[in-house]
């Protein structure tokens, strides 16, 4: 299914008058406080988030998986689904592919399809956490860290293959997330596992084109439950430094132990010019991969506050690769992604409203109460009319979820694809 500008125009008619009223009210308030609303709208329009190819179908748990029907069963259909998201939200202008799930059979056709929908290819992801059909070596006991050289070599070669596939599509970064670790004390020699991982990453790095980035993701536990080789931002940062100037850390919001101060991690990495990418999701307990902003929206705002500060003050840090990394077990994946995209834009818009100069002055005065007031003043502003206005500017929907439903996207997809299609992925 393709959503046309006529579809959206028709949908928006019913909401336009209300939207204008709400937007004008908010814009007047913001202008009175000295904000440049046009500039905020531009920043929101420019902020594009990559949709992960693996989140377009229903996810699963260790205990079961329930299809949402009409799921995309080919890369072409996945791109179509991102096209639906982008047409409605105007903020999903990129897709992040996972190899080997998404190897194109016809590169030119895929590139043309994506270009027609205004979608770029963001970071490509390698997969050494599952054994692939026909592979000679198994990743059961690790990949880049494995004690067996043949396994490490196979995993290194896979990452190089992924770079080559991404290169043909116009991607500019490789994300490496390793499941490598130990489930029991004594299983690993920590130093040997880390050394092997470091050497393997350095070998992969040698195959990285000059204008590419290597994004190194970390995670404290799962699927291994005693130790993970790249367990935290410090390990990722150290490995990125060992690799070189094109290697960076990638922060996945779900990859921290409970109550970690993620905004401080973000800030530290940007200060050192080493934050390369971001995976959005939300969680209550662990790597729950829930809808962005559904559990801890204030924490997301605080993270964005550091990102906005870093983007303005840390020229040493590159432009970030923004991606969603979530899993949808009981919601329509496309509706869930629309909610996530909206939550990201909301947190970003609120962070843009933080008066950084006033905050700095309050910090210098040690006026702790005022510091909190400044942050919460921004956080409590209902920025949704700004988001809608930013979408409207480029032809998006005033109310993406409502329009998705009244355009009957899911039932059309089921008609087109059948009920029992399954997306490749997690
Ligand atoms: Mn991730």
Structure tokens belonging to residue 266: 């973000």
Is residue 426 predicted with pLDDT exceeding 60? no
Confidence of residue 425 (pLDDT cuts 50, 70, 90): low
Q: Using the predicted structure, report yes or no on whether residue 67 has a pLDDT greater than 90.
A: no
pLDDT tens-digit series, residues 370-403: 999 999 999 999 999 999 999 999 999 999 999 9
Asked if the model's pLDDT at residue 143 lies above 60, the reply is yes
Average pLDDT over residues 19-47: 98
Q: What is the CA radius of gyration of the chain?
A: 22
| DSSP summary character for residue 19 | H
* H/E element, 111: helix 107-116
Residues 238/281, Cβ–Cβ less than 8 Å: no
**Rounded to the nearest 5°, which phi and psi values hold at 95?**
-130, 145
pLDDT digits (tens, 9 = 90+) for 252-306: 999 999 999 999 999 999 999 999 999 999 999 999 999 999 999 999 999 999 9
CB atoms within 10 A of CB 419: 11
- Does residue 50 sit in helix, strand or coil? strand
User: Could you say which DSSP state residue 95 is in?
Assistant: E
Rounded to the nearest angstrom, the distance between the alpha carbon of 293 and the centre of ligand 1 is 16
Cβ of 314: how many Cβ atoms within 10 Å? 16
- Pick from 278, 338, 340, 342: which is nearest to 308 by CA? 278
Task: Let me know: does 284 contact 254? Beta carbons within 8 Å.
Answer: no
User: Per-residue pLDDT tens for 81-98?
Assistant: 999 999 999 999 999 999
Q: What is the pLDDT of residue 378?
A: 98
The number of C-alpha atoms within 13 Å of 53 and in the hemisphere containing its C-beta is 31
Instruction: Please tell me the distance between residue 180's alpha carbon and the centre of ligand 1 in angstroms.
Output: 14
Write down the mean pLDDT value for the chain.
96
Ligand 1: centre distance to CA 30 (Å)? 35
Question: Does residue 422 register a pLDDT over 90?
Answer: no
Q: What pLDDT was estimated at residue 103?
A: 95
Q: How many whole angstroms from 187 Cα to the centroid of ligand 1?
A: 25
pLDDT digits (tens, 9 = 90+) for 396-421: 999 999 999 999 999 999 999 988 77
The pLDDT of residue 112: 98
Tell me the pairing of strands 321-324 and 247-252: unpaired
Bridge pairing between strands 173-176 and 321-324: unpaired
Residue 408: other Cβ atoms inside 10 A: 12
Look at residue 282 in the predicted model and tell me its pLDDT: 98
The reported pLDDT for the residue numbered 424 is 64
Ligand 1 center–CA 262 separation, angstroms: 14
Q: Does 123 score more than 60 pLDDT? A: yes
Is the CA virtual torsion 341, 219, 163, 266 positive or negative?
positive
Q: What DSSP state is assigned to residue 53?
A: G
Q: Are 327 and 55 in contact (CB under 8 A)?
A: yes
Backbone φ and ψ for 341, nearest 5 degrees, come out as: -60, -40
Between the CA of 255 and the centroid of ligand 1 the distance, in Å, is: 8
What pLDDT is attached to residue 166? 98
Q: How far is CA 249 from the centre of its chain?
A: 14
CA of 277 to the centre of ligand 1 (A): 10
Q: Kindly give the distance from the C-alpha atom of residue 219 to the centroid of ligand 1, in angstroms, as a whole number.
A: 9
CB atoms within 5 A of ion ligand 1 belong to 252, 279, 325
SS3 226: coil
pLDDT tens digits for range 188-214: 999 999 999 999 999 999 999 999 999
Q: Which two tokens stand for residue 212?
A: 């590419």
CA 150 to ligand 1 centroid distance, Å = 27
């Amino acid at each position: 299914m393709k959503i046309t500008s006529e579809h959206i125009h028709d949908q928006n008619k019913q909401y336009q008058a209300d939207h204008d009223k709400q937007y004008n009210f908010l814009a007047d308030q913001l202008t009175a406080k000295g904000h440049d609303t046009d500039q905020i709208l531009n920043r929101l329009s420019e902020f594009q988030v990559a949709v992960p190819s693996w989140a377009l179908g229903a996810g699963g748990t260790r205990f079961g998986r329930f299809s949402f029907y009409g799921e995309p069963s080919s890369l072409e259909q996945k791109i179509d689904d991102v096209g639906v998201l982008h047409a409605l939200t105007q903020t999903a202008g990129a897709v992040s592919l996972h190899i080997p799930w998404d190897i194109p059979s016809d590169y030119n056709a895929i590139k043309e399809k994506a270009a027609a929908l205004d979608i770029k290819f963001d970071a490509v992801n390698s997969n050494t956490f599952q054994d692939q059909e026909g592979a000679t070596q198994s990743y059961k006991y690790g990949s880049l860290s494995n004690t067996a050289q043949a396994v490490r070599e196979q995993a290194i070669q896979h990452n190089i293959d992924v770079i080559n596939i991404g290169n043909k599509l116009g991607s500019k970064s490789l994300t490496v997330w390793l499941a490598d670790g130990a489930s029991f004390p004594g299983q690993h020699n920590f130093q040997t596992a880390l050394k092997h991982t470091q050497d393997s990453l350095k070998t992969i790095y040698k195959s990285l084109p000059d204008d590419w980035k290597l994004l190194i993701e970390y995670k404290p536990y799962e699927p291994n439950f005693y130790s993970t080789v790249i367990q935290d931002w410090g390990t990722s940062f150290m490995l990125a430094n060992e690799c070189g100037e094109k290697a960076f850390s990638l922060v996945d919001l779900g990859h921290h132990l409970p109550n970690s101060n993620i905004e401080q991690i973000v800030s530290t990495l940007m200060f050192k010019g080493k934050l390369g990418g971001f995976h959005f999701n939300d969680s209550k307990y662990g790597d729950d991969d829930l809808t962005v902003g559904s559990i801890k929206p204030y924490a997301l705002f605080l993270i964005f506050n550091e990102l906005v500060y870093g983007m303005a003050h840390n020229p040493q840090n590159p432009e970030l690769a923004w991606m969603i990394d979530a899993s949808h077990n009981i919601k329509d994946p496309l509706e869930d992604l629309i909610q996530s995209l909206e939550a990201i834009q909301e947190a970003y818009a609120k962070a843009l409203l933080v008066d950084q100069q006033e905050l700095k002055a309050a910090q210098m005065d040690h006026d702790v109460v005022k510091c909190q007031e400044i942050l919460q003043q921004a956080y409590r502003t209902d920025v949704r009319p700004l988001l809608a206005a930013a979408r409207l500017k480029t032809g998006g929907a005033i109310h993406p979820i409502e329009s998705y439903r009244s355009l009957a996207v899911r039932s059309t997809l089921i008609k087109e694809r059948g009920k029992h299609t399954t997306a490749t992925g997690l």
